[in-house]
Amino acid sequence: MRVWLAVLGSILLASPIRPAAAQAAPAAQPAPAVDKAKSKVAKRYVDAGLAAQSTGDYDTAITFYGKAYQLVAHPVLLFNMAQAHRLSGRIDEALKLYAQYLEQAPNGAQAQTARDLIAEEKARRAEAARALEATRKADEDRKTEVARVEQARRDREAAQARVTKPEDASAPVVEETVEVARPGAGRTLRLLGITTGAVGVVGLAVGIGYGVHGSSLSSEVSKRYDPEKVKAGDRANTLQAVGLVTGGVLVVAGAALYWRGWARDRHERVTVTPLVTDHGAGLAIAGWLP
């Protein structure tokens, strides 16, 4: 990118050669000098922006790129600003600038890279939204199950309150038995957790693979500079970050879902039956005790 912009600066600084006979009026001669002066200043801004970006000072780089764009509105400066915003974590601003770059230079040298980065960010956001929706659905299921169990508890207490001593006390009386079925949503949560975690592991593996590929390209570029390998290395680094972040989020979400399912299945229910005889009264308890 630094070499490409250096070439751009050379092109901007080059002034057209006009034969003396072709000049229509002396008053029109200062115009090329003004363009040349703007180009020189713009190139200095671009160089300063590249230097700032190489040290991680992305805000300063964006400022210099913006000043250069005000002087020479070249689309590649929009791409540079988008890259600086993306590297600094301001993804929304980066996506807007990538889109502006594609509007002005749909067939530009960085057009495919801009499209790939936009597509990757959209895919990452869609995956995060799906994981969030799965977590929300699991939480709703948990609340529904808790409400059902609570209602069953209230019904059981109401049934126990209706127990009365029978007229014929010689025979044991067994009142209505209230049973609460074991929750069955735990298995669903565990399966969902395993699936989510597996997708996360795949994402981590993809991120690690791109990281190894990016390191290999970096070693090759350090020996011999190749713009295509530099571009491929940037793409590999981006995919590495997307894979690791997405994979990590999905693994954590899968573990949380699995734990919730496991914890839910641990809550067994006990059947309590009141007994009344002529010799006394008591309770019959059946089921899994905690």
pLDDT in tens, 232-249: 888 878 988 888 888 888
pLDDT at 164: 57
Q: For residues 94 and 106, what is the distance between their CA atoms, to the nearest angstrom?
A: 17
**Full-model pTM:** 0.40
Give ∠ CA 278-280-285 in degrees, rounded to 5: 120
Look at strands 280-287 and 270-277 and give their pairing: antiparallel
Q: Tokens 């600003």 map to which residue? A: 81
**Which class for 62: exposed (0-12), middle (13-18), buried (19 or more C-beta within 10 A)?**
buried
Largest CA distance in the chain: 132
Contact 186, 264 (CB under 8 A): yes
Q: Determine the distance from the C-alpha atom of residue 159 to the mean position of all C-alpha atoms in its chain, rounded to a whole number.
A: 51
Q: Tokens 């034969």 map to which residue? A: 19
Tens-digit pLDDT profile for residues 46-91: 999 999 999 999 999 999 999 999 999 999 999 999 999 999 999 9
pLDDT less than 50: residues of the chain: 1-34, 169, 171, 173-181, 268, 270, 288-290
Bridge partners, residue 178, by sequence: 272
Look at strands 173-174 and 270-277 and give their pairing: antiparallel
Q: Give the DSSP H/E element, type plus range, for residue 192.
A: helix 185-223
Q: Give the DSSP H/E element, type plus range, for residue 287.
A: strand 280-287
pLDDT at 282: 67
- Tell me 56's DSSP state: T
b/e sequence 90-119, b meaning 16+ C-beta within 10 Å: beebbbebbebbbeebeebebbebbeebbe
What phi and psi, each to the nearest 5 degrees, are found at residue 287?
130, -170
Cβ neighbors of 252 (< 8 A, separation 6 or more) are 200
Reference 271, options 184, 178, 181; nearest CA is 178
Q: In what order do the strands lie in the sheet with 270-277?
A: 173-174, 270-277, 280-287
Domains of the chain: 2-15+26-109 (1.25.40.10), 120-164+171-287 (no CATH)
pLDDT at 272: 53
For the chain, the straight-line distance linking the first and the last C-alpha, in angstroms and rounded, comes to 65
Q: For residues 51 and 2, what is the distance between their CA atoms, to the nearest angstrom?
A: 9
Q: For residues 221 and 215, what is the distance between their CA atoms, to the nearest angstrom?
A: 10
